[in-house]
Structure 1
């Protein structure tokens, strides 16, 4: 990140947090280590996650102190996610700490918060939010799972798709429809009536699963799941934008460095004016995406009325920026970039995979247009 942006956007403590995470990832999340983690049975490096939680406390940052966390703002989590995005490190940070933990908090169920959040904050427990159906719409008024009630007991039937960390989570938070509304439930994944499978993904550094329920017993967290999911979606879009900015900045950095060493016609290709202009355009996209992301997390941390719009803007702009940078990175690297051995293809896949998370950018544009009274 630029020095001006860093000084203007963050406190000294937050900058120190960034340096600490950078140093740890430089040692333990090398490209070779990231590929090995993505190809492992779990899909992430459990040892790295333990280091991040125990030495830095990343999982505890956004969890209130009363529930075993540090009680920091959303900005601290943003800093961590940006650095994780830069190295494409597969961890439970987005799925467990951002999605599931925030869903538990948004439910308002104090008992569940007291039971579940301390373990998540310590990194000893991993939670997953089962939300969308096979369409991947991430709708807050519907779900792929249906709940039925028998007295105070609930049973869930159906399937949740694209569940981050779902194949290995210790706790499931499930969105399910009941009586025409969406509610959130806590489910023990060890039940025989719950089946989980990790699914192949274009972005191998992002572990996704399908979770199926066949009459699984569940505990109600909140009957107003729509309100909770609306809040979680805002938080998720802002968090995802941090990852995207980190990845875009690193992809551009790698491209610039390559342009200084790749010689064509007796000159480094980075000396050609046409490529200078192209990389300057990419730099502009990275920095404007960073601005959108930082504006969104500041709105989130401050509880600003504009947080919904700011989160949507960050989702759309950062998705498009990362796709543009990753695509041009491959072109500017030439033929080597499309090989499996080169990291450029990993950033390209992350760009297109993350753009679909929590809803496609066009869905957010449509909602913003509708809110503004505009029609297509």
Structure 2
């Protein structure tokens, strides 16, 4: 990979998305979309598609922008800060990433143009009931005979499955995990909505009962891992953006809320809490951007950087959102105040596409296996 844009261009892209979110995705809009059946702000998604965001990672020969992780992370910061209710992660990042990594030119030519245009909503089913994103935990099996395949099993925590026009499924085969495409409306598929703490997010459980499927490419788990890396970079960006937004909201409240004749931000305890949260917010942004940069430059430590960002950004967002409610006081415990929307997003994203504990364990395992140069002091 390479960084296809200059710093000035990336700043302009981020500013354009930030302005769109401010103009068309305010809190009132988010709350309205939360109450819809599919939870997708389709007018906003159309506007993002017009800007090229839906096809951000799609190669230009398939109608996309052909950009990479660095641009992806910056845009994710803006969508995360605004709690945007779109299929960005599932369609434009995870599914598009799987298709590109599959190196199946025919499938890419057939599916990616619609994803890039925003007219096709796509999603992918990888996760088992326990929520793990490990190849050994894939709970859908493929039975292949004479070039035809049928899928049986269950995938959980699939984003926007009920709205998907394209559904990719990771299933086990004698050769290991493989990628398949199925028709989302096949009668052998049962989609059940799962309850979510974050009402801006839609998750489904999909049961496959001998569903006909078409294999996509010949690449195995490494291709799926490549798509997951991009997805984790985007998730970290959204978490960093959300963390910064709720932090800024809290600091502004501390400046204007008068108690005992002075702004509460003037009290030492509040100052210390705010300083600690600022450190968390800045650290999350640094971790997310570093992961994106290392992935774009194909650095040897990119895997460790992404795992670090996956749990560090999740932990920081959850801590900032929870502390923000305490700093706001009683008003933040009401449904009408937006603070709880960020807490809900923070908690849900801590498990989406794999838990913080999973990536913390992976990170520690990787760095523990590395040689360490330790010498006695002279």
Tell me whether 1:190 sits opposite 2:160 in the alignment.
no
Is the counterpart of residue 15 in structure 1 residue 2 in structure 2? no
The aligned residue for residue 346 of structure 2 is: 351
The answer on whether the counterparts of 2:304 and 2:366 sit within 8 Å (CA) in structure 1 is no
1:37 corresponds to 2:33: yes
- The corresponding residue for 2:47 is 51
Using the TM superposition, give the Cα deviation of residue 162 of structure 1 relative to its aligned residue in structure 2, in angstroms.
0.5
Alignment of 1:233-272 (within 5 A): 233-272=228-267
Counterpart in the other structure of 1:4: none
State how 1:112-261 maps to structure 2 within 5 Å.
112-179=107-174, 181-261=176-256
Structure 1 segment 86-105 matched on structure 2, within 5 A: 86-105=81-100
The CA deviation at 1:371 is 2.3
Query: CA contact under 8 A between 1:234 and 1:307: conserved in structure 2?
Result: no
Greater RCO, CA 8 A, separation 6+: 2
Q: Report the counterpart of residue 293 of structure 1 in structure 2.
A: 288
Task: Work out the CA distance in 2 between the residues paired with 1:140 and 1:233.
Answer: 12
User: For each residue in 1:242-265, what CA deviation from the matched residue of structure 2 results, as whole angstroms up to 9, or x when unmatched?
Assistant: 000100000001101111121111
Further displaced range: 140-149 or 11-20: 140-149
Structure-2 residue corresponding to 1:28 = 24
1:68 aligns to what?
A: 63
5+ long unaligned stretches in structure 2 = 371-378
RMSD between aligned alpha carbons? 1.6
How much does 1:180 deviate? 6.2
**TM-score, length of structure 1 as denominator length:** 0.94
**Per-residue deviation, 1:195:** 2.2
Contact 1:182 1:224 in 2 (8 A): no
1:363 and 2:337 correspond: no
The whole-number CA distance in structure 2 between the counterparts of 1:63 and 1:34 is 27
Out of 267, 270, 276, the position equivalent to 1:275 is 270
Aligned residue in 2 for 1:308: 303
Q: Is the 8 A contact 2:73 2:288 kept in 1?
A: no
Cα distance change of structure 1 residues 329 and 247 upon mapping to structure 2, 3 Å threshold: same
Structure 1 SS opposite 2:133: coil
- 1:10 offset after TM fit, Å? 6.5
In the alignment of these two chains, the number of paired residues is: 366
Question: Given the superposition, is the C-alpha separation of residues 170 and 179 from structure 1 closer, same or farther in structure 2, using an over 3 Å criterion?
Answer: same
User: TM (normalized to structure 2)?
Assistant: 0.93
Q: Deviations over 1:330-376 (max 9, x none)?
A: 0001111121111111111111110112222222222222223369x
- What are structure 1's unaligned runs of at least 5 residues? 1-8
The structure-2 alpha-carbon separation of the partners of 1:257 and 1:138, relative to structure 1 and needing over 3 Å to count, comes to same
